[in-house]
Amino acid sequence: MPSPHSPGITPGRLDAETLTSNFSDLHAPYDAHEAAVAADRCYFCHDAPCVTACPTEIDIPLFIRQISTGQPEAAARTILEQNILGGMCARVCPTETLCEQSCVRETAEGKPVEIGRLQRHATDSVMARQDHPFTRAPDTGKRVAVVGAGPAGLACAHRLAMKGHDVTILEARPKPGGLNEYGIAAYKSTDDFAAREAAWLMQIGGISVEYGKALGRDVTLSQLQADYDAVFLGLGLGDVNPLGIEGAERDGVLDAVAWIADLRQAPDLGALPVGRNVVVIGGGMTAVDAAVQARLLGAETVTIAYRRGQDRMGASRYEQDLATSKGVRILTNVAPVAVHGNGAATQIELAYMTEGAKGLEPTGETLRLPADQVFRAIGQSLVPPEGLDLDGRKIRVEAGGRTSLPGVWAGGDCTPGEDLTVVAVAEGRDAAEDIHAALSR
């Protein structure tokens, strides 16, 4: 139930039927005929630019040709050999700025081959069989600890298990998947897909998971180094950056990542409180996911407030357009100054910003918006394990994900680079290959 100090934040703004419709699959899957028609648009380019644009370097022309010739399961194997989480990546990858942006059809006609939806068609086909397309190699007798069951950790664990190593995943939360399970908008991953994909992945064998185990709280890195032949850190980012403004601790000011996690795990969306007037601070994918879902839960006004111009937003233009199509207003060149209210948030004060000689500078003008719920979506930060060299605020890694500590590798959001599921998968996979090479000497 809502706080008595926050009368605008309440559950049940929309009926169950409307909520079900609002949170249905964002893109309906292709049927076999639709997939064949979509596949026929591919030119099957030699040295295809879409492959270069894919962080996991999937042979996209090959898998699309396999779909066009009626072999979706062969297409799935082509995908999964490079990206074992190809099903989720088909749903959440910003294909509009990666493979599809590089598609020759996009360059020529302004309409790319729908690579993401074709990838989903293929991977869903093989997962529906309820068996696993890869075989585990003979047991090597080597043991590897993987910290974190997010995309990087799962990809690393699967590749290591396939090579014959025994893998123990230590996961702080009660479910695997990381941001795939807890941080992706519910309309992008329906029908408990993240959990089903993780369970399917572990059918390879040789992987065990210990839930409720956090590095630094329940186990130390030095313990893992002593107990295992190698360690992979797929920690993700645990801390959320603070707003650092007056009133930031008022009721109704929330962490967007935690709120999305609560929404993803809620058994009844009608019981999840949402404000009447919602403001999201930030410009990335998390800001869009929070804003759109607040609107889908029945918030009357939802505004994304971003400190720079719209072209500088971390969210892709596709995501921005999705937000505005759902009734979200995007307000740019504004930064939060204060959250006002009597105990609970009622308004947010924003300062207009401009790019000056010293970077972002306030113009001296401000505005206030009604806001009974304010979400922080201004980035996350790492709580680094002791003893590791850092690159800025993340773990420094060399080729293959090697850290400054012998026998310890890392990948995913805790290391430098783009914080994308597909990038995390590539880094986990590549680290596993490097670990295998080191253990095979």
Task: Provide the CATH number for the domain around residue 42.
Answer: 1.10.1060.10
211 and 260 both lie in a single domain? no
Residue 6 lies in a domain: no
Q: CA 116 to CA 124: how far, in whole Å? A: 12
90 and 49 both lie in a single domain? yes
> Which structural domain, as residue segments, surrounds residue 341?
16-23+240-376
pLDDT tens digits for 9-24?
Answer: 999 999 999 999 999 9
Q: CA 84 to CA 244: how far, in whole Å? A: 40
Low-confidence stretches of the chain (pLDDT beneath 70): 1-6
Q: What is the widest separation between alpha-carbon atoms in the chain?
A: 68
285 and 324 both lie in a single domain? yes
Task: Provide the CATH number for the domain around residue 355.
Answer: 3.50.50.60
The single-letter DSSP state of residue 137 is P
266 and 249 both lie in a single domain? yes
369 and 435 both lie in a single domain? no
Amino acid 4: pLDDT: 40
Domain termination site, one of 376, 402, 421: 376
The token duo for 31 is: 């049927």
Domain count within the chain: 3
Amino acid 421: pLDDT: 96
The token duo for 420 is: 């994308």
With beta carbons less than 8 A apart as the criterion, state whether 412 and 401 touch: no
Residue 181 lies in a domain: yes
Domain termination site, one of 95, 127, 159: 127
Domain termination site, one of 344, 376, 408: 376
43 and 87 both lie in a single domain? yes
With beta carbons less than 8 A apart as the criterion, state whether 119 and 63 touch: yes
Residue 66 lies in a domain: yes
229 and 118 both lie in a single domain? no
The b/e string for 161-184 (b: 16+ C-beta within 10 A; e otherwise) is bbbbbbbbbbbbbebbbbbbbbbb
At what angle are helices 32-39 and 115-127 packed, to 10 degrees? Answer: 140
Residue 137 lies in a domain: no
Within 10 A of 62 (CB to CB), how many other CB atoms are there?
16
Residue 1 lies in a domain: no
260 and 344 both lie in a single domain? yes
Alpha-carbon separation of residue 35 from 68, 70, 115, 430 (angstroms): 8, 10, 10, 31
369 and 398 both lie in a single domain? no
Amino acid 67: pLDDT: 98
218 and 333 both lie in a single domain? no
Residue 91 lies in a domain: yes
DSSP-derived 3-state class of residue 347: strand
Residue 39 lies in a domain: yes
Q: CA 80 to CA 82: how far, in whole Å? A: 5
249 and 370 both lie in a single domain? yes
Pairing of strands 166-171, 143-147: parallel
Pairing of strands 347-356, 359-370: antiparallel
